[in-house]
A and B are shown apart, each in its own frame.
Chain A
Amino acid sequence: MHANPKALMRPALTAALAAVLALSALAACSTTSGGGDSAKPDSIVVSGTYPVDSLDPHSAAGGSAGKEFTGQSIYGRLTRPDAKGKIVADLATKWTPDATATAWTFNLRSGLQFSDGTPLTSEDVVASFQRLLAGDSPNKSNFTGAKIAAPDKDTVVITAAKPDAALPSKLAIFFVLPKTIGADFFKKPVGSGPYVVKSFTPGERLVLTANDKYWGGKPKIETVTVRTIPDLSARLTALRTGEVDLIWGVPDDQLKTLKADAGLKHESVPSHQVFTMWFNSSIPALASPAVRNALWKAVDFKTIIASLYPETGALAVAPVAPTVFGYSPQQPKTYDPAAAKAELSAAGFDFGKPLRLQFANAEFRAFNQAVVSDLAKIGVKVDLQEKEQAVFIKDLLAMDWDVNFQQLGTAGFDASANLGRLYPCAAKRTGYCNAELDKQLAAAGTTTDENARAADYAAASKIIWDDAVGMYPMTVQIAYVWNKRLDGFTRDASGYPDFSAATVSAK
Chain B
Amino acid sequence: MSGAMSEAIGLVRLRRGRPRRTALWIPLGIVSGYVLVAVLGPLLLGYDHVATPVGDRLRAPGSATANGTAWLGTDGLGRDVAAQIVYGARTSLLIATVAVTLSALVGMTVGALAGLAGGWSDVVMSRVIDVLLTFPGVLLAIVVAGLFARGLPTVVLSLSITAWTPFARVARNVTLSIKEREWVSAARLMGVPRLVILVRHVLPFVLPPIVVMATLEFALVVLAEAGLSFLGIGLPPSTPSWGQTVANGKEYLATAWWISAFPGFALFLLVVSVGLLGDQLSARLGRNSRSRTS
Contact = CB atoms under 8 A, between A and B. Distances in A.
Interface of A: 232-233, 251, 253-254, 256-257, 303-304, 307-308, 362, 365-366, 369-370, 372-373, 376-377, 384, 386
Nearest to B254: A257
Given A308-B54, A308-B57, A369-B77, 19 more contacts: A233-B251, A233-B253, A251-B251, A253-B251, A256-B255, A257-B254, A303-B54, A307-B54, A307-B57, A365-B237, A366-B76, A369-B50, A369-B237, A370-B77, A372-B52, A373-B52, A376-B48, A376-B50, A377-B51
Contacts of A376: 48, 50-51
A303 B54 CA distance: 8
A166 B179 CA distance: 86
Nearest to B255: A257
A384 B251 contact: no
Interface string B38-57: 00000000001011101101
B55 A303 contact: yes
Q: Which 8 pairs of residues, A with B, have the shortest CB-CB distance?
A: A307-B54, A373-B52, A370-B52, A376-B50, A373-B51, A233-B251, A232-B251, A370-B54
| B contacts with A: majority SS | loop
A370 B57 CA distance: 11
A232 B58 CA distance: 18
Interface in B70-86: 76-78
Contact of A373 (B50, B57, B232): B50
B51 A366 contact: no
Contacts of A251: 251
A356 to B, nearest CB: 12
8 contacts: A257-B254, A303-B54, A307-B54, A308-B54, A365-B237, A373-B51, A373-B52, A384-B237
A110 B251 CA distance: 50
Nearest to A363: B251
Nearest to A304: B54
Nearest to B50: A376
Contacts of A303: 54-55
Interface of B: 48, 50-52, 54-55, 57-58, 76-78, 232, 237-238, 250-255
A140 B76 CA distance: 40
A331 B233 CA distance: 41
B231 to A, nearest CB: 12
Contacts of B55: 303, 307
Contacts, number: 48
A254 B251 contact: yes
A253 B58 CA distance: 10
A111 to B, nearest CB: 49
Contacts of B254: 257
A370 B78 CA distance: 10
Contacts of B251: 232-233, 251, 253-254
B252 A253 contact: yes
Nearest to A231: B250
Contacts of A365: 237
A474 B232 CA distance: 27
* A365, A366, A369, A370 pick with most chain B CB within 10 angstroms: A369
Contacts of A253: 58, 76, 251-252, 255
A373 B49 CA distance: 9
Contacts of A307: 54-55, 57, 78
A372 B76 CA distance: 15
A257 B254 CA distance: 9
A253 B78 CA distance: 13
A370 B54 CA distance: 7
A251 B58 CA distance: 15
Nearest to A237: B254
Contacts of A370: 52, 54, 77
* B48, B52, B252 pick with most chain A CB within 10 angstroms: B52
Contacts of A256: 255
B92 to A, nearest CB: 21
Nearest to B252: A253
Contact of B52 (A232, A254, A362, A369): A369
Contacts of A304: 54
Nearest to A381: B50
Nearest to A377: B51
Contacts of B250: 233
Nearest to B56: A307
A81 B237 CA distance: 40
Contacts of B238: 384
A39 B230 CA distance: 34
A307 B78 CA distance: 10
Contacts of A254: 251
Contacts of A377: 51
Contacts of B252: 253
A292 B265 CA distance: 44
* B50, B58, B252, B254 pick with most chain A CB within 10 angstroms: B50
B145 to A, nearest CB: 14
A174 B168 CA distance: 62
Nearest to A384: B237
Nearest to A362: B232
A256 B57 CA distance: 15
Contacts of A257: 254-255
Nearest to B253: A233
B49 to A, nearest CB: 9
B283 to A, nearest CB: 32
Contacts of A384: 237-238
Nearest to B247: A362
Contacts of B77: 366, 369-370, 373
A359 to B, nearest CB: 12
A234 B250 CA distance: 10
Contacts of B78: 307
Given A233-B250, A256-B255, A366-B77, A372 B54 contact: no
A370 B55 CA distance: 11
A303 to B, nearest CB: 6
Nearest to B53: A373
A138 B77 CA distance: 35
A307 B238 CA distance: 21
A257 B256 CA distance: 12
A306 to B, nearest CB: 8
A307 B54 CA distance: 6
B236 to A, nearest CB: 8
B244 to A, nearest CB: 11
